Amino acid sequence: MERPAWAPRSIDISVPSVSRIYDYYLGGSHNFEVDREAARKAMEFMPGLPKVMQANRAFMQRAVRFAVDEGIDQFLDIGSGIPTFGNVHEVAQSARPGARVVYVDHDPVAVAHSQAVLAGNEDAGVVAADLRKPREILASAEVERLIDRNRPVALLLVAILHFVEDEDDPYGAVAELRDALAPGSLLILTHASYEGIPLPAERAAGTVDVYKDIRNPLIMRSREEIARFFEGYDMVEPGLVSMPHWRPRTAPEDEDPYAFSGFAGVGRTA
Ligand SMILES: C[S@@+](CC[C@H](N)C(=O)[O-])C[C@H]1O[C@@H](n2cnc3c(N)ncnc32)[C@H](O)[C@@H]1O
């Protein structure tokens, strides 16, 4: 198989990756046949998966604009993925020129492509790191350079925590990041769940099996379990809701039924 310029030598392009599968769902071009095959298999169980991803992106963009309106001008986006259109730096920097953005991902393609997209953007940077090691993220040169830890930050954990298993202590990692950020910081989060999916859970479980097969299990958590990630945060209105219900710009009733899968919320530390 020919290796395109955006695929670092270190990666095994015969194994599907979560970030490239997601890129495919969003209509991007940074994916291989193995990724498309896994995505199509997952869609046999949940044909509306791209609609879930689009609702997730639309929420993220509304939440970033909300953060800017709240006076936030620095963003730490962990699990930022392969940039497509309407990324955090585009939304934040067009609403607030000079806004600082740090992308963090453990996927080499996501990191390499983010670096290419951000070349020449002095106010944004990329860190290759793992959410399960928050201390490494906080101590990274790009976080040191771009984020003033004495002022509020918007921390984005959008569509990432459902890839972190309980045994890897996702709650501990989220708490460590919360404690490291200044009061008034925001947590912007989405998470997959069996709740809200317009299908019986047994059928949606077929999608979960696809991710298990590629050794990146998708952890479906209940609304209650997802709400626990906001410990130490006050929920911003309207709380933890399905994605189209978070400060919508268009009528939620016009959304595809799949857009209501999983949960989205924003919290603020006191
Ligand atoms: C579904 S994508 C979401 C991308 C983006 N946040 C969005 O919502 O559009 C999930 C991303 O999280 C990354 N990821 C998964 N587990 C991670 C971990 N433990 N540390 C860092 N990144 C991780 C994947 O590589 C992938 O790029």
The tokens describing 147, both together, are 């984020």
* pLDDT computed for residue 8 by the predictor: 86
Whole-angstrom distance, CA of residue 137 vs CA of residue 75 = 13
* pLDDT computed for residue 81 by the predictor: 96
Q: Which residues pair with 235 in a beta bridge?
A: 267
With the most atoms of ligand 1 within 8 angstroms of its CB, the residue from 15, 30, 160 to mutate is 160
Q: Which atom of ligand 1 is nearest to the CA of 107?
A: 25
CA 217 – ligand 1 centroid, Å: 13
Confidence of residue 1 (pLDDT cuts 50, 70, 90): low
When the pLDDT of each residue in the chain is averaged and rounded to a whole number, the result is 96
Element (H, E) at 232: none
Whole-angstrom distance, CA of residue 253 vs CA of residue 258 = 12
Amino acid present at 260: F
pLDDT in tens, 138-176: 999 999 999 999 999 999 999 999 999 999 999 999 999
Taking the complete model, does pTM exceed 0.75, yes or no?
A: yes
Query: Exposure string (b/e) for 88-120, b if CB count within 10 Å is 16 or more?
Result: bbbbbbeebeebbbbbbbbbbbbbbbbeebbee
Confidence of residue 227 (pLDDT cuts 50, 70, 90): very high
pLDDT in tens, 111-133: 999 999 999 999 999 999 999 99
Q: Under a CB-based contact definition with an 8 Å cutoff, are residues 194 and 262 in contact?
A: no
Residue whose Cα lies nearest atom 11 of ligand 1: it is: 79
- Give residues (CB < 6 A) around ligand 1: 18-19, 22, 56-57, 60, 79-81, 105-107, 110, 130-132, 158-160, 163-164
CA 127 – ligand 1 centroid, Å: 13
**pLDDT for residue 2 is more than 80:** no
Q: Hey, which CATH number is domain 56-199+225-269, 2.60.40.1120, 3.40.50.1820, 3.40.50.150, 3.30.1370.30?
A: 3.40.50.150
